[in-house]
Structures are given as C-alpha cells and as structure tokens.
Amino acid sequence: MAARFQSQATRPRIAGSSGMGGRWIALSQSNARHDASLQHDAMGEVSEPAHCGNGGGAASERRPRLISLALAAVVLLAIARAAAAVEVAPSDGDWPMAARNYASTRYSELNEVTADNAHRLRVAFTFSLGVERGQEAAPIVAGGTMYLAAPFPNVLYALDLTQPGAPLKWSYRPNANRAAQGVACCDYVNRGAVLWKDKIIYNTLDGVTIALDTRTGKELWKTPLANIQIGETVTMAPLVVKGKVLVGNAGGEFGVRGWMAALDADDGHIVWKAFHTGPDKDVLIGPEFKPFYDSDKGSDLGIKSWPPEAWRTGGGTAWGWISYDPELNLIFYGTGNPGPWNAEQRPGDNKWTGGLFARNPDTGQARWFYQFSPHDLFDYDSINENVLLDLTINGAPRKVLARPERNGYLYLIDRASGEVLSADAFFPVNSENGIDLKSGRPNYNPDKHPQVGKTVRNICPTASGAKDWNPSAYSPDTGWLYIPRQNLCMDWQATEVNYIQGTPFVGADVNMFAGPGGYRGAFIAWDPVARKSVWEIHEDLPIWSGALATAGNLVFYGTMDGWLKALDAKDGSLKWQFQTGSGIIGQPIAYRGPDGHEYIAVLSGVGGWAGAIVVANLDARDKTAAKGMVNATADLKEKTRPGGTLYVFALPAS
C-alpha cells in the first residue's frame, strides 16, 4: 500500500516525519513501484488499517500524530500524495474544507471504522438545520467544532463537538435577500463553508461572502459580489488559497457573465476578478497564458468566439470546485455552461465556457485553459471537481488532474501544461464519439446535434451530466476514484429564447429518463491508470450525493431516498446502510472527534436539481418541469420527503 502513499515531492522528509510508522514512505520509492503493481498493492494493503484501527491501539497511534501536527507548520495530506495543503493546516482528523484538501481527494486517513466493523455504526448525534431544502454542504470540522452551512436563508451553525450531543455553540443568520430564491437555478442550496485560520468563510445565496470568527460567530467582514438583479447567485463552497478567498458565481441559466473572484481573507476586499467571457483583460489572460491547444490561442477569444455581444450574456459561471497545487502555484477550476442552452443562439466555441482554467492564485492570471465542451450543446457545465494526482502514465510520472466530466468522460490532464493525456467514457455516452486527443476537442455526434424546431431523442448523458457537481473521492489505498454517477438520458428540443435580464435564459425543452439498463444512478470505482471501471453499484435513483473514501477501506455515499451507504472500497460490497429519513444529496465526511474517535457525518435533506420535485413540490405531470429532471425523478415524492438534518455516526463505545 505504501507505494501509493506519497507525500509531495518537495517535502519528502516532512511526510516521513509525520510519524506513522511504516505507513509513510518517501516519494522516491513510491513512484518506482506505483502502477506496475497497483492491483497487487491494493490487495496487500488490507491488513494495515486493521492493525491501526484496533481499539486502544488506535488511540495510542493518534497521539504522536497530533504532536507532529503541532510541530509542523504544515501538515501534509500525504495520503492524497497530491498537492498538499500548505496554508490550511488540518489535523488528519479535521475536515477544514469541502474537499478536505487542496487536491480534492475527499479521503480521510482515519481507519477506526473499517469494512469489518462498519456494520456497527450507530447514530452519535443529530442536528436539525431548520430548513427543509437540499442540503448539499459538507460539514466543516476543526478544532472541536463543526460548522454547518444551511441552504437559504443560509444560517451558519457552529456545533460544539466537545460537549455531549454536540450542542449549538453559536449560529449566524445573514440577512440574505429573499428574492435571490427566484434566480437560483436548481434549488437554493449551499455547498459549504471553508475554514481559514480563525475564520469560517462562506457565501450566501444572494452573493455575499461572509467571514465569521470561529469562536464567537461574530461577523468579521462581508463582501457583496453577485447581483441578483441580473440573475447572479452564489452557491459554491469558497476555497482559501494563500490568504485569498476564491468565490465564483452561479447563474448560467440566467445569461450572467461568469467570474471567479479572489478576496483578501483578512478584510474581504477584492484582489482580483476574472471573467469567463469577454476581452482578455477581463478574463485575466496575459503573457503567462500558455494553453496547450491551438484553439485556445489567440487574442480576445472570449469575444471572437461569440456572435457580437453574445458574450455579455454568455454564462460560464464557476459554481463548482476549485483545486490548488501549491507546487505549481496554480488553482484549477471549471467554468459552467454557456448561455443560453440553445446552442444555435451562440455559434462559435464560446470561450471560456465549458472548460477548465489554471490560474495563478496571486494575480488571477490564467496559465492555461482547456475546453471540455467547445460550443456546448447540452448544458455540460464543466464545474466538476478536479482531483490532483501524481500518477505514472506510460511509465513516466505525471502530475495529473483527474476530472470526471459531465459529458461522461474521465479526463486525465497534465496539470502543468493542460494537455489531455486520456479521456475515457465512464458512462455510455452517445452525445460525443470520443475525444480527439490531438486537438483536445470532443467529436460531437452529428445525430444528436440539436437544432431549433427539432427534437433530438435519447441523448446520453443528460444536461445534468453523467455526473453533476457531487464530487467523487479518491482513495490512495486502492488508487481508484469513486464516482457517484447518474444514469440518465434525455430528449432535447432547442427553442429560441429571449434574454430578459433577471429571468431564465435557457432555450431548451428537456425530458430526462433512465438510461441504458433502466436504473438511474450508479456508484463506480474507476481505476485512472488502467482507465477502466473496477466495479459498479447500480442505484434505482440518481445519486446526487458526494463520495467519501476512508482509510478504513470504506467508501460512503448517500442515496436520494435517504440511505447513507458504506461500501467495501475494494469490491463494492455493502457493509452498512442507514435510513436518514430524507434523501441525501450532501457530502459525507469523516473526522476525528475530540474524544479521538472517528465519526462519519452527513447532511440529510433532499433537494437540488434532482430533488426539486420534492422540496418545491413540482408537478410530475409536466415532463419538462425542472428542465426535464422531474420526469427522471417522478417517483421521488413517494420515496422521500424534505428534510434538513445532520447525522453523525460512530462506532459504539463497546
């Protein structure tokens, strides 16, 4: 197993010094052994967590680790053998940001709960968030406190984990504008807060970024960023990189102009703001910009790849995930769909929507860009998570970025250059016939090309993608990505749509339904090196929750009918499940409580695009309601009800 546990190349000694006995091996060794024996290693690793996680032994193991944390200014998330957290310093038991670490692995090295004992998991405590709307946030845990960002009206709760039953420590209620609910495309969710030093920072739906004092909940600063009058909202979880809070807007369905802003974490002032359409100076494209593919080279492509003026309403929002590689000093994030959905109203490649930016977090200057969906046809927002991995590809070590993209392909991209190394379908895609690695462009299937006045049938995947925002997890133990996948296809009729400021700008009538096989969701383990799926679990309903992987050889995910499930990471067998009463669309996390034990936490509360039918009480008789999603989840009202509850699980004290 050690082969896959590697710290960042620059700090091998620190990684080695984290005191985990035989677990942490220096990078130089790991790379050599890595891919050739991946499968073998995975098997060989089984015994390790058992050893670490057993009873009192576990506690004793933890202490030195905590000490080493205190000693080191930086704790490396070595497990992720990825770009490690430099400035945020989570203990290995904390969960300081939605993706846990800058590499976005959503992996916890805690191993108290294992595949063998998971069946004993019990509820430790619960907490009601008081809003029965889609709970997409990841709980944030640090310093014995858990921070929960609730959906609109975006109350932030701090729970004191040191007390029995985790009572409320403080809560913060922003005075968010109610009207923002009218311009939030897919339920008024919030994807979580972020911890930065002594601040907890999050966004409200109406587009205000707020920093609070972690101890008191006092508002330290707040910066309004979005203008709901033109349809902008903010639902994403911010990320803090080098003292800068990165926030992107949502509103791709309202013809807004997407942007990513960096705020100073200390006082909230805007350091830079990069738009995703328009002239290069707005997009922060300068001399540093070195895209890999020719189609991204040229000046002012953000104007020239659009019909005149269309870039002003061109979307390309950034409401998803940001990753950061401290070594390259680059942030990576995707840009959303171009507006409107009806592609005929925006001929051209529609730069810089539907793609992936690598930027310098200090200046915001773009380093490279890769476009997953030039001239996006089907609302393939490219905002999904970017998992930063160091893999050996064709015998050579590569710093890659793994991207399970909405269009159904899993991309491995060289994160230094932006070159696509491979792109493999993890879903029966028929909207595109593969990706041309030479040009980097997808081969759109001409049979599925939409045209105003024509209905195109059975397009796979849907607008919500083979996988939407709900992030996958990467386990270095297995070396696999765990991808919560949807299995939906759709009929699509493009229609001409009018841009009326502040109203939806969509232009497609869509009707979604279960894809091949008749099931609607799948949870898959994907081997990025072998470039194929290892195992798949089929779910009747789409999976809208994130994934969590732990060192206990477990992967967690939730279902839309309320089950939190724990699977054996190696073979996908179900080890434990719990019915939470409302569909789970949140992001499960694992943390070490102040008592030293491992806890699994998740927010239950159905909603989001897929769950809107339940929380907004949509009418399933209309097959096109919620942009067609209602037809795919027409039975959901009978399977789950709205909710908004935190569930925390732990092994019984025994």
Using CB under 8 A as the criterion, which residues of the chain lie in contact with another protein when the complex forms? Answer: 178-186, 253, 255, 303-310, 313, 345-349, 451-455, 491, 493, 495-506, 509-511, 612, 616-627, 630
Q: Where are the alpha helices (DSSP H) in 143-258?
A: none
**How far is Cα 223 from Cα 208, in angstroms, rounded to an integer?**
5
Query: Would you say 194 or 497 has its CB closer to another protein?
Result: 497
When the beta carbons of 178 and 218 are compared against another protein, the nearer one is: 178
CB atoms within 10 A of CB 24: 23
Nearer to another protein, 115 or 228 (CB): 228
215 vs 304 by CB, closer to another protein: 304
Closest contact distance (angstroms) between CB of 514 and another protein is 17
- In this complex, which beta carbon is closest to another protein, that of residue 38 or of residue 180? 180
List the Cα angle 281/287/293 in 5-degree steps. 95
253 is catalytic: yes
| Closest CB 305 distance from another protein, rounded Å | 6
Q: Give the nearer residue to another protein in terms of CB position, either 318 or 510.
A: 510
Phi/psi at 106 (nearest 5 deg)? 55, 45
Choosing from 41, 109, 112, 253, the catalytic residue is: 253
- Decide if 108 contacts 550 (C-beta within 8 A): yes
| Min CB(307)–another protein separation in Å | 5
CB 611 → another protein: shortest distance, Å? 13
Q: Find out whether 549 and 474 touch, Cβ atoms under 8 Å.
A: yes
Virtual torsion, Cα 380, 356, 423, 608, nearest 10 deg: -40
**Which pair of tokens denotes residue 236?**
């994403």
Angle made by CA atoms 589, 594, 600, in degrees to the nearest 5: 20
Instruction: Please report the sign of the dihedral spanned by the C-alpha atoms of residue 245, residue 248, residue 250, residue 256.
Output: positive
Establish whether 337 is a catalytic residue. yes
Cβ proximity to another protein: between 622 and 638 the closer is 622
| Both tokens assigned to 288 | 């540093």
Whether residue 87 lies in the annotated active site: no
Cα separation, 386 vs 401, whole angstroms:
6
| Cβ-contact 642, 614 below 8 angstroms | yes
From CA 450, how far away is CA 488, in angstroms rounded?
18
| Alpha-carbon separation of residue 316 from 11, 379, 483 (angstroms) | 36, 11, 24
In Å, the largest CA–CA distance within the chain is 68
Helices marked H in 228-385: 280-283, 301-304
Bridge partners, 414 (sequence order): 400
Burial of residue 498 (CB within 10 Å: 0-12, 13-18, 19+) is exposed
What's the CA gap between 423 and 413, in Å, rounded? 9
Least distance from another protein to the Cβ atom of residue 238, Å:
23
AA letter at 336: G
Q: How far is the CB of 496 from another protein (least distance, A)?
A: 6
Tell me how far apart the alpha carbons of residues 85 and 101 are, in angstroms, rounded to a whole number: 6
Of the candidates 433, 452, 436, 454, the one whose C-alpha atom is nearest the C-alpha of residue 444 is 433
* Catalytic, out of 112, 206, 379, 432: 379
* 349 versus 539: smaller Cβ distance to another protein: 349
Least separation in angstroms between CB 618 and another protein: 4
Please compute, for residue 604, the number of CA atoms within 13 A of its CA located in the half-sphere on the CB side: 28
User: CB-wise, 71 or 179, nearer to another protein?
Assistant: 179
Q: In whole angstroms, how far apart are CA 109 and each of 73, 141, 240, 459?
A: 19, 15, 22, 39
Least distance between another protein and beta carbon 547 (Å): 27
Q: Give least dist CB 378 to another protein, A.
A: 15
CA distances from 515 to 131, 523, 546, 614 (A): 32, 15, 21, 22
Minimum CB distance to another protein smaller for 72 or for 620 = 620
How is 531-560 classified by DSSP, letter by letter? Answer: TEEEEEEEESSPP-S--EEETTTEEEEE-T
What lies within 8 Å, CB to CB, of 32 at 6+ separation is none
351/565 with CB nearer another protein: 351
Kindly state the tokens that stand for 528.
């990025």
Which of 101, 190, 249, 337 is flagged as catalytic? 337
Q: How far is the CB of 420 from another protein (least distance, A)?
A: 24
Measured from the CB of residue 490, what is the shortest distance to another protein in angstroms?
10
* Neighbouring C-beta atoms of residue 144, cutoff 10 Å: 16
Helix (H) or strand (E) holding 68: helix 55-71
Nearest Cα neighbor of 264 from 279, 247, 244 is: 244
For tokens 């907490």, the residue is 127
User: Active-site residues: which are they?
Assistant: 253, 337, 379
